Amino acid sequence: MQKPTYEDYKRTMRKITDVNNAMAVLGWDKEVNLPSKGAMHRTQQVSTLAGIAHELFADEKFGDVLKFLNENNGLDDRQRRNVSLTLKDYNRNKKYSTEFVMKSSKVISEGYAAWLKAREANDFGLYREPLGKIVAIKREESEILGYKDHPYDALLDIYEPEAKTADIVTLFKDVRDKLVDFAKRIKAQPQVPHEFLGKFYAHQKQWDFGIDILKNMGYDFEAGRQDLSPHPFTTNFSPQDVRVTTRVDERDFGNMTWSCIHEGGHALYEQGLPVDEYGLPLGSSVSLGIHESQSRLWENNVGRSLPYWKAHYNKLQNAFPENLQGVPLEDFYKGINKVAPNLKRTEADELHYHFHVLIRFEIEKELLEGTLQVDDLDKYWNKKYKEYLGVDVPNDNQGILQDIHWAHGSIGYFPTYSLGSFYAVQFYNQAKSDIPGLEEQIQQGDNAQLLTWLRENIHRHGRYYSAEDLCQKVTGEKLNFDHFMKYAEEKYSFIYGL
């Protein structure tokens, strides 16, 4: 019998990727174009493709190919890394029995339906029992996958490979010890002007401005497109077909503006992955945290900076003269960086956002440990919001029911949002060190060298490095919250006159 080759491995991986990407096209179409009557069969179509992809990846013969190649000394470094990462993914996938997959799918499907009903009724009580079953199935999953120190490690590893719960605990201790008090100092100051943000901004003018923003960032419209969807997202079918969506609120131009910049950051990462590694680990992103670092770097460190708006504010004023001609640039800059505690994670400012994530992480960790029960969750949620943000939760929809993640079974996901923001500042600081006059370039509307730096230092590597190793390689140290804290203190001390 002929020995398997690396080319055999590549062919199978690309076949699996083709099926997954066909499924992703259907998912994109569902959010952008699907007529209402098409939903039932679309669910069936996606389910069929998911089954095919799972069967291909779980095939014992493919496992034999991976094991053989993993012991083969004839591969180069990149080939070995591809095979070892795929073998890790394969071995994890093989731990799931068909019975467990089916049970988990049923529990999550029922939980999602219950969440929708609870949202409609604004009543957590309708979701309490189904959520309890989701938590139980995720506890079972953590035992199936295995862990050394904490059951949360097993689920966290799905989204942020090699990250440890203990490290996230340490990181969020810094958030509690440093950021909470700083936000309270800001709250004691007079609020910055921001009324101009709520005026009428015409849909088409916003759309045109958003397209210009994406082009200026370096987003390749020959390898992508932008459309409208209720919830902005980025999806990719190869580095040469990466699509973004945005939403437009005519009473809040910031909704469109920063969703364009945020999703554009995600898309630039995907467009920068190596084309010749299509379908392989080195042709995909490192982790959700690193992916989020790319969107947050562009959204916050660039897109909410004074140099960025020195380049773009005149164009925005000309598009909306009735709203902005009387607003000085410095007032505009302060207004778009307004800080105030709020109820909803997705509407939070750059600082309070991490309190929202911290609350969710603490809840998930305690649920997995069994020290917190779902029966007490809504009261515990409300208590945490009062403690960390000083706000009273008026109802379940603005509180415990606001996120879809748990209804999808995505426990272990939330910390990646904060990790992304913290990585972003550390990467951006390094880019400023490596590129003389970077902020002067941004002030002139030139982002080319920044994008080149990101391509060279982050995008081109795919999954070759872990997130921690990539951070060490790029910045010379592991993730360090002090970078974010210093950035926040300098920026918001100026904005709020601290």
Give the active site residue among 60, 71, 141, 263.
263
Q: Both ends of the chain: CA-CA distance in Å? A: 74
- Judge whether 347 counts as a catalytic residue: no
What b/e readout covers 379-390, taking b as 16+ CB neighbours within 10 angstroms?
ebbbebbeebbe
C-alpha triplet 116, 121, 122: angle, nearest 5°? 90
How far apart CA 258 and CA 255 sit, in angstroms, is 6
Answer for the pair 333, 309: CB distance below 8 angstroms, yes or no: yes
Q: What is the 3-state secondary structure (H, E, C) of the chain?
A: CCCCCHHHHHHHHHHHHHHHHHHHHHHHHHHHCCCHHHHHHHHHHHHHHHHHHHHHHHCHHHHHHHHHHHCCCCCCHHHHHHHHHHHHHHHHHHCCCHHHHHHHHHHHHHHHHHHHHHHHHCCCHHHHHHHHHHHHHHHHHHHHHCCCCCHHHHHHHHHCCCCCHHHHHHHHHHHHHHHHHHHHHHHCCCCCCCHHHHCCCCHHHHHHHHHHHHHHHCCCHHHCCEEECCCCCEEEEECCEEEEEECCECCEHHHHHHHHHHHHHHHHHHHCCCHHHCCCHHHCCCCHHHHHHHHHHHHHHHCCCHHHHHHHHHHHHHHCHHHHCCCCHHHHHHHHCCCCCCCCHHHCCCCCHHHHHHHHHHHHHHHHHCCCCHHHHHHHHHHHHHHHHCCCCCCCCCCCCCCCCHHHCCCCCCHHHHHHHHHHHHHHHHHHHHCCCHHHHHHCCCCHHHHHHHHHHCHHHCCCCCHHHHHHHHHCCCCCHHHHHHHHHHHHHHHHCC
Answer for the pair 247, 256: CB distance below 8 angstroms, yes or no: yes
Other C-beta atoms lying within 10 Å of the C-beta of residue 221: 10
Residue 75 CA, chain-centre distance (Å), reads 33
What b/e readout covers 53-83, taking b as 16+ CB neighbours within 10 angstroms?
bbebbeeeebbebbeebeeeeebeebbbbbb
Active-site residues: which are they? 263
